[in-house]
Amino acid sequence: MERHAPPWWTLAPLAALLVFLIVVATAVGSVSVPLGDTAAVILKNLGFGFLGPVDQKWDAIIFLVRLPRVLGAVIIGAALAVAGTVMQGMLRNPMADPGIIGVSSGAGFGAVTAIALGLTVQGLWYLPLFASLGSLLAAGIIFLLAIRGGKMGIFTLILAGIAVSTFFGAGTSLVLSFSSRDSIAQFIFWSMGNLYNVRWESLALVAGPIGAGMLLLLWFTRDLNILLLGEEEAQSVGLNVFRTRVLLLVLVSVTTASAVCISGPIGFVGLIVPHILRLLIGPDHRLLLPAAALGGACFLVACDLVARLVLGAQEINVGIVTALLGAPYFLFLLLRSEKKETGL
Amino acid sequence: MTAPLAARNLRCTIGNKEILKGLDLTLAPGEILGILGPNGAGKSTLLRCLNGLLPSEGTVELHGRLLASLKTRQIARESTLMHQNTSVCYPFPASEVVMMGRYAHQGRFRPESAEDRRIVGEVMNFTDTAKLAAQPIDTMSGGERQRVLFAKSLAQDTPVLLLDEPSASLDISYQEQIFRFAEKLAGEGKAIVAAVHDLRLAARYCTRVILLSHGTVLAEGTPETVLTPAHLQTAYGVRVRVYRNPVTGQLDFHLTEDEIVGHRPHIHVIGGGGSASEVLRKLSGGNCTLTCGVLSPGDSDLQVAEVYGIPAVLSPPFSPIGDQAHQENRLHVAEADVTILCNLVIGEQNLRNLEAAAEARNLVVLEDDNPADRDFTGGRGLEIYRNLLGRATVLESAQLSDWLASRSP
């Protein structure tokens, strides 16, 4: 039988674009480094130093400051887009993203708690730690609420998600209303999502869980395709829908919580990247999920570049850029799907 | 050998409503078991329970192994369920959808094999979907999509196939196709259970049927024994005539209007050669008891009488009416409030029909064509006929309804 699935090499242009964006984003900044030198520094630090001599004056700025930030954008963008693709596929809903399982509101509550307790002054790792704990706590509560008698209803999951998110949001507001101006400012800054503080250390911290989460999710691409058939169809071809859903949700929450903990919540990456790619390459997760990883990485690296450059010396938070691009696109999708429904 | 599928005392409750109230069934290889019954009788619920999609009490066994003890993947290698009206709204090419049917045979470490591809190719050829292989399923017509989903179920390569109203919402050109596929598969030894809406299709293709009513088995057996007017009235709450369609030779069903209670005049219709068909059709809906005679097997009047369940007096064709038939006919004439003599052709064989008509208390003669042109007895029949006219009401067929209406209180 002939195969009609799109071949893997469809991914090649995206991969090439990502490499190009990484080099450009590392080269461009308040001090511009020639692209060739940038590539040379990156290659040298990857162990390809034998390829040629490197201008030492760029080494620190490229390798210690910019590269970790760009790579942070790569793995966080990839993680959010993969998580979003999985959520949309699993819930068979194009408007779904990991926010549904409370990871953003939980992270916010964790972050505000760390800030209010003054822990952020004591050490760099308390904020990410609390943010990820908050994420997992919120997601855990939502799972427990949604699982009933060996089944997990999608509607219950979504409704429980809304209720728990609202609850954690209120908790965040409550803590904020007793916080100092500085704490509030710190929280707002965090909550807008940024990649300022991404260093090699923070990457080392989250690369493990994010990498593992994404790899495992990539392993479930066939199952995700089958879930698109609908719950009963999936069950009758032999997929244990309940177990698969729980597993996928756990992987999505770990991946997203790890991403969010170093960057703060960055909206719309998980929503629009899967969408655009689904339009371009179709619904097959065996291709869509790796494409989302590459596409999410490209999108966030590009957005972070815009965030750094758009106002000259004054950087803006990358979350603002993704939302400014994402919200109109979301509305466009919404209006288009309504048009389809009403047949206009 | 253990049955590919067996259920004992199967019960299923959804919410507070008990949908299945203790069902037993056993399926043998090569069988097409039809599950019939009105909407809400529990047909789809039964299939879901048999496939483990809904929790149920009682036991379901697949080749002697308890369904409850099997993993989802193991169940999917034993039995497949083709759902009613599945809409796949994602643009997967047909071949990929069919390949999804192979899921239970693949492993996390063992992706698609040559064997998987061979089977997918085979079932797509079988269901005539090979030419659709590259087409996205969400752009297909209902019939094409149903065939692709059927191919997906077949790709599961299971000994048991459960089909939930496989022909519902399909064009008539496709309705029978799925059943013809099923017939072939049963011939290859698959065991098939199909929830069927259409009684004709069930009667034609099912080797055995179960009639469900309110979650219990009302009747079980061959279509002929189960699909009787009495059973159908109990299950569906309507009066249904069951007859063999003379053209197709298949069981056919005709829904009749509810009986009107009260005094029903007895009308005996004497016809033959198609002359009584229109009269019987017209009168069958009315408030009267009908009989007819004397007819011969093969006569279209007799087929009409059978469709409407009208008792008919029979006599062998191509010979004069026998003594026994004549006596029966006279008896009906004697009992009838009105006897109608149709615009029939008069021959040696049916002269006795005219003789019987002569004894009628209240005779109506329908005369559309000149009786002289209809007489093939050399004048003998015409004479009897003319004698009748003196004491009969002579009408044209078109006037009959009005005449009857003017007589009824």
Instruction: Tell me the per-residue pLDDT of A113-129, one tens digit each, with 9 for 90 and over.
Output: 999 988 877 877 888 88
pLDDT exceeds 60 at position B322: yes
Q: Which of A1, A232, A282 sits opposite B91 (nearest CB)?
A: A282
Model ipTM value: 0.83
Q: Which of A1, A219, A229 sits opposite B121 (nearest CB)?
A: A1
Q: Which of B51, B92, B118 sits opposite A236 (nearest CB)?
A: B51
Phi, psi of A91 (to 5 degrees): -90, 0
First-to-final CA distance of chain A: 40
pLDDT exceeds 90 at position B32: yes
> Which of A84, A100, A94, A89 minimizes the C-alpha distance to A227?
A89
Q: Which residue has the higher pLDDT, B202 or B110?
A: B202
Q: Do A206 and A261 touch, CB atoms closer than 8 A?
A: yes
For residues B373-391, average pLDDT? 88
Q: Which residues of B touch A230 (CB under 8 A)?
A: 86, 88
Residue B198: the pLDDT is 87
Task: Evaluate whether residue A2 is within a structural domain.
Answer: no
Residue A167: the pLDDT is 94
- DSSP letters, B359-372, are T-SSEEEE-SS-HH
Tell me the nearest-neighbour CA distance from A151 into chain B, angstroms. Answer: 11
pLDDT exceeds 50 at position A141: yes
Residue A344: the pLDDT is 40
Beta strands B338-341; B57-62: pairing state: unpaired
Q: Do A229 and B96 touch, CB atoms closer than 8 A?
A: no
Q: pLDDT tens digit string along B233-257?
A: 888 887 787 888 777 778 888 776 5
Q: Apex CA B348: angle with CA B347 and CA B354, to 5°? A: 70
Q: Could A232 and B53 be called an inter-chain contact, meaning their C-beta atoms sit closer than 8 Å? A: yes
Beta strands B65-66; B57-62: pairing state: antiparallel
Q: Which of A1, A4, A226 sits opposite B100 (nearest CB)?
A: A226
Using CA of residue A329, residue A332, residue A336, residue A338, what is the dihedral sign?
positive
What does pLDDT average to over chain A? 85
B75 touching chain A per CB within 8 A = yes
Greatest Cα-to-Cα distance within chain A, rounded to the nearest angstrom: 67
Band (B409; pLDDT cuts 50, 70, 90): low
Q: Which residues of B touch A246 (CB under 8 A)?
A: none
pLDDT exceeds 60 at position B294: yes
For residues A213-229, average pLDDT? 92
Q: Could A236 and B53 be called an inter-chain contact, meaning their C-beta atoms sit closer than 8 Å? A: yes
For residues B304-329, average pLDDT? 87
pLDDT exceeds 50 at position A302: yes
Tell me the nearest-neighbour CA distance from A218 into chain B, angstroms. Answer: 12
Tell me the nearest-neighbour CA distance from A237 into chain B, angstroms. Answer: 5
Task: Evaluate whether residue A17 is within a structural domain.
Answer: no
Q: Which residue has the higher pLDDT, A118 or B206?
A: B206
Q: Do B283 and B304 touch, CB atoms closer than 8 A?
A: no
> Which of A276, A288, A224 minimizes the C-alpha distance to A252?
A224
Per the structure, the count of domains in chain A is 1
Residue A2: the pLDDT is 52
How many C-beta neighbours within 10 Å does residue B228 have?
14
3-state helix, strand, coil in chain A (%, to 5): 80, 0, 20
Q: Could B117 and A226 be called an inter-chain contact, meaning their C-beta atoms sit closer than 8 Å? A: no
> Which of B244, B210, B199, B195 minimizes the C-alpha distance to B83?
B195
Q: Apex CA B108: angle with CA B135 and CA B85, to 5°? A: 40
Best to test chain B binding among A91, A237, A340 (most B CBs inside 10 Å): A237
Band (B61; pLDDT cuts 50, 70, 90): very high
pLDDT exceeds 70 at position B262: no
Residue type, A134: G
For residues B266-286, average pLDDT? 88
For residues B312-323, average pLDDT? 88
Task: Evaluate whether residue A74 is within a structural domain.
Answer: yes
Question: Among A117-131, A178-192, B148-162, B356-370, where is mean pLDDT lowest?
Answer: A117-131
First-to-final CA distance of chain B: 67
Task: Evaluate whether residue A196 is within a structural domain.
Answer: yes
Contacts with A, B 142-201, CB within 8 Å? 152, 156
Helix (H, G, I), strand (E, B) or coil at B171: coil
Tell me the nearest-neighbour CA distance from B200 into chain A, angstroms. Answer: 28
C-alpha atoms less than 13 angstroms from C-alpha of A201 in its C-beta half-sphere: 4
CB < 8 Å & 24+ apart, contacts of A163-172? A164/A102, A164/A105, A164/A138, A165/A99, A165/A102, A165/A104, A165/A105, A165/A138, A166/A105, A168/A102, A168/A105, A168/A106, A168/A108, A168/A109, A168/A134, A168/A138, A169/A105, A169/A108, A169/A109, A171/A109, A172/A105, A172/A108, A172/A109, A172/A112
Q: pLDDT tens digit string along A28-67?
A: 877 777 888 888 888 877 777 666 677 777 777 777 788 8
Task: Evaluate whether residue A10 is within a structural domain.
Answer: no
- Write the burial class of residue A176 (CB in 10 Å: 0-12 exposed, 13-18 middle, 19+ buried): middle
Q: Which residues of A touch B100 (CB under 8 A)?
A: 225-226, 229, 237
Proportion of chain A above pLDDT 90, given as a percent: 32
If you count them, how many residues does chain A have? 344
pLDDT exceeds 90 at position B176: no
How many C-beta neighbours within 10 Å does residue A256 have?
34
Task: Evaluate whether residue A319 is within a structural domain.
Answer: yes
Proportion of chain B above pLDDT 70, given as a percent: 97
Residue A35: the pLDDT is 80
Band (B405; pLDDT cuts 50, 70, 90): confident
Band (A173; pLDDT cuts 50, 70, 90): very high
CA trace torsion A152, A158, A163, A164 (10° rounding):
70
Residue B240: the pLDDT is 80
Tell me the nearest-neighbour CA distance from B258 into chain A, angstroms. Answer: 40
Q: Do B91 and A282 touch, CB atoms closer than 8 A?
A: yes
B91 touching chain A per CB within 8 A = yes
What does pLDDT average to over chain B? 88
Sorted by sequence, the CB contacts under 8 Å of residue B81 that are 6+ apart come out as A232, A236, B47, B48, B50, B51, B53, B153, B162, B163, B164
- Token pair, residue A325, equals 């691009």
Q: pLDDT tens digit string along A232-263?
A: 889 999 999 989 998 998 899 889 988 888 88
A238 touching chain B per CB within 8 A = yes
Question: Among A4-8, A13-17, B373-377, where is mean pLDDT lowest?
Answer: A4-8
Q: Could A284 and B103 be called an inter-chain contact, meaning their C-beta atoms sit closer than 8 Å? A: no
pLDDT exceeds 50 at position B260: no
Q: Could B92 and A283 be called an inter-chain contact, meaning their C-beta atoms sit closer than 8 Å? A: yes
Residue B252: the pLDDT is 83
Residue A6: the pLDDT is 62
Task: Evaluate whether residue A94 is within a structural domain.
Answer: yes
For residues B124-145, average pLDDT? 89
- The answer to pTM > 0.80 is no
Q: Tokens 């009684």 label which residue?
A: B199
Residue B213, beta-bridge partner list:
B216
Tell me the nearest-neighbour CA distance from B216 into chain A, angstroms. Answer: 24
B92 touching chain A per CB within 8 A = yes
> Which of A215, A242, A279 minimizes the C-alpha distance to A154?
A242
A221 touching chain B per CB within 8 A = no
Residue B1: the pLDDT is 67
Residue B257: the pLDDT is 59
Best to test chain B binding among A148, A224, A227, A236 (most B CBs inside 10 Å): A236
Band (B171; pLDDT cuts 50, 70, 90): confident
Using CA of residue A186, residue A189, residue A191, residue A195, what is the dihedral sign?
negative
Band (A5; pLDDT cuts 50, 70, 90): low
Q: Tokens 């809400």 label which residue?
A: B40
The CATH number of whichever domain residue A286 belongs to comes to 1.10.3470.10
Task: Evaluate whether residue A15 is within a structural domain.
Answer: no
Q: pLDDT tens digit string along B335-353?
A: 888 999 999 999 888 889 9
Beta strands B338-341; B266-270: pairing state: parallel
Band (A343; pLDDT cuts 50, 70, 90): very low
B93 touching chain A per CB within 8 A = yes
The domain of A197 spans: 31-335
B207 touching chain A per CB within 8 A = no
What's the rounded Cα separation, in Å, for the pair B172 and B192? Answer: 22
